[in-house]
Structure 1
Amino acid sequence: MHIVITGAAGFLGQRLVARLLARGELQGQPIHRLTLIDQDEAPLPADPGEVDVESLAMDITEPGEIDIVLDARPRVIYHLAAVVSSAAEADLELGMRVNFDATRLLLEGCRERGLNTTRLVMASSVAAYGGELPAVLDDMTALQPQNSYGTQKAMCELLINDYSRRGLVDGCVLRLPTIIVRPGRPNAAASSFASSILREPLNGEEAVCPVPTELTMFVMSPGKVIEALVHAAEVAGETLAPFRAFMLPGITVSVAEMLETLRQVAGDEALARVRHERDPQVEAIVASWPARFETRRARELGFSGDRSLREIVEAFLDERG
């Protein structure tokens, strides 16, 4: 089996590569080839075993750029390439080009080559929702994004669903909760603080909380997101209709609960490393995202979530070593 991953140099892309190589198979078939795509060459795994892994530096927003990859007729495409929330809000043209135009070019490339059985898995976001919302949302709640990032993701969802309805590709779109605790350093995502206020204090460093502690978020651990991406390639296409985008089963937590979990795990000294400085721009973006979901459909399709915030934090500590 040949698998392509866009955005492969990123946090999720690198973890997905490791998980796929550890599994060695997908859809009951051995993985023989992985093609990693990013603006800069993604790091190659130290030990790919018998899998042929190639890393390509490629701008998939340019027409025709990805053709050489699609000509090889991959069986699964993971589309993870994206400009994150704050960056997409700051630069509309960049967000549209990377988050929407690249997706359309990818879909058109599949259509032109008759890749109608290729499973295209795209990472969407809770940011696709917004506006006046019920207390608890489900997958049929209307999408009313309140920022450019969410709008671009919602547009992609509709396009992938329509191409799948027409039998031009076999799409599956996962709306990801906010992912915590991410390793590394803060990035340009508005939600980056949610990892930072846990990760940095646990590492003995200071962090800034830019939102009020009563703000709630819908979150999921990196491990569960990777499990979901793998599973999304194996869910039967006929079970995904009539709409192929749905929310993954995260958990609802307040910022206050995040900080209390930090205190319980690492003590008052760690909690004292968090400094509170409101950022109206970050607050406006994150507060527009809903935090309570009914995710029955995802669970019926075999996706699972974390049991508690403490479990998420302890998983980060175990991985950090």
Structure 2
Amino acid sequence: MHIAITGAAGFLGQRLIHRLLKRGELRGEPIRRLTLIDQSEAATPEAAGVEVVAQARDITAPGAFDALLDARPDVIYHLAAVVSSAAEADLDLGLAVNFDATRALLEGCRARGLAATRLVMASSVAAYGGELPEILDDMTALQPQNSYGTQKAMCELLINDYSRRGLVDGLVLRLPTIVIRPGRPNAAASSFASSILREPLNGEEAVCPVPTELELFVMSPETVVAALLHGAEVDGEAIGAFRAFMLPGITVSVAEMIATLREVAGPTAVERIRHDPDPRIQAIVGSWPTRFHTRRAEALGFPRDTDFREIVEAFRVASTS
């Protein structure tokens, strides 16, 4: 089994790598090779019997995927992306990384006859927007309100069409907002959702740029990685003709997130949050829907978190161990 990961140096990519190596198999076959692609060389942990190859690539450059696809991977996890705020700030960069590179990857699979390769792409709740019903499902029309969501929606349609034509075995997982991300805040508009929990738990101050009544649809990093693994194994015929769907998440308001922080870490932690409204962040995140029917994902066996407090407590334990 040869598995490739784009965006392998990112936090999701790194967690996926370690989970794959710990499992040692996918689709009932032993993992023999991992090819890791990112703009900088990804960390390459050692694992007995697995060849781990890290390639530093500008995925927007012509032929960036040639060496990878010539090796005919069985599964490709396409996680590389320019995140929401950065894509909104630089349209050309967002299009090049989020859309053009995805099209080049699909075309490379087509040219080499990789019809059996499972391509799992990470999409986003940002693909939705505009006037929406109170509760959405996978077939709710996409009307993104920012460039990042638009680029992801365009990729979803391409993957759906290439799969319909039998050119690749594609699957698109629309990810909820991931909470709690490790590390430091990044350019994602939703970065605050992790920082208002992570920093106070670590004894640091954090900024909340949105109203506390704002709701988010969230999922823990551990559950997202479990969903990615399952996405490589779920039967293509069971997925059906429409290859994109929303993963099961939890709807929670910022006020509820802060209340959970208080329950877990006490009032001192909450006092470390400073409220400083940012209209730009509010406009982006406020356009994302927060309530979904995720029956398709659940019927296909995709996992879900059971409780938001468990997400916070799991992070707290991991960060102190």
**TM-score, L = length of structure 1:** 0.99
Q: What is the aligned partner in structure 1 of residue 251 from structure 2?
A: 252
Q: What is the DSSP-based 3-state SS (H/G/I as helix, E as strand, rest coil) of the residue aligned with 1:242?
A: coil
Which ranges of 4 or more aligned residues in structure 1 deviate by more than 4 Å? none
Q: CA deviation at 1:269?
A: 0.3
Give CA-to-partner distance per residue, 1:143-194, whole Å, 9 cap, x none.
0000000000000000000000000000010000000001100000000000
> What are the within-5 Å matches in structure 2 for residues 30-69 of structure 1?
30-45=30-45, 47-69=46-68
Is 1:298 the counterpart of 2:297? The answer is yes
Aligned letter for 1:16? Answer: L
Alpha-carbon distance between aligned partners in 2 of 1:241 and 1:61, rounded to the nearest angstrom: 31
Aligned letter for 1:26? Answer: L
Aligned letter for 1:213? Answer: T
Q: What is the DSSP-based 3-state SS (H/G/I as helix, E as strand, rest coil) of the residue aligned with 1:74?
A: coil
Q: What is the aligned partner in structure 2 of residue 227 from structure 1?
A: 226
Alpha-carbon distance between aligned partners in 1 of 2:78 and 2:96, rounded to the nearest angstrom: 14
Q: What is the aligned partner in structure 2 of residue 21 from structure 1?
A: 21
Alpha-carbon distance between aligned partners in 1 of 2:68 and 2:90, rounded to the nearest angstrom: 28
> What are the within-5 Å matches in structure 2 for residues 170-319 of structure 1?
170-319=169-318
Q: CA deviation at 1:48?
A: 1.7
Give CA-to-partner distance per residue, 1:223-274, whole Å, 9 cap, x none.
0000000000001111112210000000000000000000000000000000
Is 1:143 the counterpart of 2:142? The answer is yes
Q: What is the aligned partner in structure 2 of residue 80 from structure 1?
A: 79
Q: What is the DSSP-based 3-state SS (H/G/I as helix, E as strand, rest coil) of the residue aligned with 1:233?
A: helix
Q: What is the DSSP-based 3-state SS (H/G/I as helix, E as strand, rest coil) of the residue aligned with 1:239?
A: helix
Consecutive unaligned residues of structure 2, counting only runs of 5 or more, are none
Q: What is the DSSP-based 3-state SS (H/G/I as helix, E as strand, rest coil) of the residue aligned with 2:64?
A: coil
Alpha-carbon distance between aligned partners in 2 of 1:14 and 1:256, rounded to the nearest angstrom: 31
Give CA-to-partner distance per residue, 1:108-149, whole Å, 9 cap, x none.
000000000000000000000000000000001000000000
> What are the within-5 Å matches in structure 2 for residues 95-134 of structure 1?
95-134=94-133
Alpha-carbon distance between aligned partners in 1 of 2:87 and 2:240, rounded to the nearest angstrom: 30
Alpha-carbon distance between aligned partners in 1 of 2:246 and 2:213, rounded to the nearest angstrom: 23
Alpha-carbon distance between aligned partners in 1 of 2:209 and 2:244, rounded to the nearest angstrom: 31
Aligned letter for 1:115? Answer: L
Q: CA deviation at 1:304?
A: 1.5
Report the number of matched residues: 320
Aligned letter for 1:111? Answer: R
Alpha-carbon distance between aligned partners in 1 of 2:276 and 2:67, rounded to the nearest angstrom: 48
**TM-score, L = length of structure 2:** 0.99
Q: What is the DSSP-based 3-state SS (H/G/I as helix, E as strand, rest coil) of the residue aligned with 2:93?
A: helix
Alpha-carbon distance between aligned partners in 2 of 1:201 and 1:186, rounded to the nearest angstrom: 13
Alpha-carbon distance between aligned partners in 1 of 2:224 and 2:64, rounded to the nearest angstrom: 28
Identity over the aligned pairs, expressed in percent? 76
Q: CA deviation at 1:318?
A: 2.0
Alpha-carbon distance between aligned partners in 2 of 1:316 and 1:179, rounded to the nearest angstrom: 12
Alpha-carbon distance between aligned partners in 2 of 1:49 and 1:202, rounded to the nearest angstrom: 36
Alpha-carbon distance between aligned partners in 2 of 1:124 and 1:199, rounded to the nearest angstrom: 24
Aligned letter for 1:23? Answer: R
Consecutive unaligned residues of structure 1, counting only runs of 5 or more, are none
Aligned letter for 2:74? Answer: R
Alpha-carbon distance between aligned partners in 2 of 1:155 and 1:26, rounded to the nearest angstrom: 29
Alpha-carbon distance between aligned partners in 1 of 2:64 and 2:313, rounded to the nearest angstrom: 42
Alpha-carbon distance between aligned partners in 2 of 1:19 and 1:293, rounded to the nearest angstrom: 28
Alpha-carbon distance between aligned partners in 2 of 1:97 and 1:78, rounded to the nearest angstrom: 18
RMSD: 0.5
